[in-house]
């Protein structure tokens, strides 16, 4: 079986899981800046898939290195412990090896991989905590109270900022990248509701397109936009309050 031929690359999975530190990147304010991160050209993707089907261990190892950290963070949104999340990631990679011959290439390879991951994570989460709803990415998180105080939008013309955010580009870079600031961003990310965090992870940290996120998470374009906006606004508010208080 092909998964046995990947035994050397499989050590990379275990290493990545053990060393999986969360790396916080900058939050983009303009959704359009993500348009450059489109799916790779079909020819390049086809070569990648062919290499996997041919048992190329180096290609498999490169996929593990590229995606495992993000997979672990997403799986953790659905299951109660890191140990279970690690099992879900390992099961996902085994499913990729076993199922790559049947991959129909109607979506990008990474979208297909993450769909496998999310399906396994949801199933594992349902088994671990049966009393908690898991399919809420398209539900209530896109609703609820405003994440930014409406009083800040009383300017003219109507609906414009009356108290706009401060320009962080005027702050020294070392302050924005200070350990305390990055730790605050990480805590704020961890406090996001599951749907918002999943969308934010894929859009702003992994640089997926909106269409890819909708396909992977099984949500509508409208809810993807709302979840991303609410996640960005929550994080910006947390950082703004922290920086303004110092």
- Residue position matching structure tokens 């910006």: 236
State whether 108 and 170 are in the same domain: no
pLDDT of residue 64: 95
Give me the residues paired with residue 160 across strands.
155
CATH code assigned at 221 = 1.10.10.10
Q: Please tell me whether residues 123 and 145 are part of one structural domain.
A: no
Residue 133 lies in a domain: no
Please tell me whether residues 238 and 170 are part of one structural domain: yes
Q: What does each C-alpha distance from 40 to 81, 189, 202, 218 come to in angstroms?
A: 34, 28, 16, 21
Domain count, the chain: 2
First to last CA, the chain: 59
Residue 163 has pLDDT above 70, yes or no: no
Domain limit, last residue, from 128, 161, 185: 128
- The answer on 115 and 8 residing in a single domain is yes
Q: Say if residues 45 and 34 touch (Cβ distance below 8 Å).
A: no
Residue 131 pLDDT exceeds 60: no
**Quick one: 126 exposed, middle or buried, by C-beta within 10 A (0-12, 13-18, 19+)?**
middle
Q: What is the pTM of this model?
A: 0.67
232 pLDDT more than 70: yes
Asked whether residue 72 is assigned to any structural domain, the reply reads yes
What does the chain come to in residues? Answer: 246
Lookup result for tokens 């590229």: 66
């Amino acid at each position: 079986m092909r998964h046995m031929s990947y035994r050397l690359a499989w050590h990379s999975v275990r290493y990545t899981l053990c060393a999986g530190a969360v790396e916080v990147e900058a939050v983009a304010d303009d959704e359009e800046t993500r348009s450059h991160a489109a799916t790779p050209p079909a020819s390049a993707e086809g070569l990648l898939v062919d290499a996997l089907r041919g048992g190329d261990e180096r290609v498999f190892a490169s996929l593990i290195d590229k995606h495992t950290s993000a997979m672990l963070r997403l799986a953790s949104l659905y299951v109660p412990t890191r140990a279970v999340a690690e099992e879900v990631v390992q099961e996902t990679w085994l499913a990729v090896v076993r199922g790559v011959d049947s991959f129909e290439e109607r979506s990008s390879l990474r979208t297909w991989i993450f769909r496998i991951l999310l399906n396994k994570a949801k199933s594992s989460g349902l088994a671990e905590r049966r009393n908690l709803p898991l399919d809420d990415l398209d539900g209530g998180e896109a609703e609820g109270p405003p994440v930014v105080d409406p009083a800040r939008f009383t300017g003219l013309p109507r609906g414009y900022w009356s108290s706009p955010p401060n320009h962080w580009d005027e702050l020294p870079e070392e302050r924005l990248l200070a350990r305390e600031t990055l730790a605050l961003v990480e805590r704020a990310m961890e406090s996001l509701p599951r749907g918002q965090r999943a969308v934010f992870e894929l859009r702003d940290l992994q640089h997926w397109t909106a269409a890819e996120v909708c396909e992977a998470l099984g949500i509508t374009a409208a809810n993807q936009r709302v979840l991303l906006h609410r996640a960005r606004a929550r994080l910006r508010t947390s950082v703004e309050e922290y920086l303004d208080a110092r």
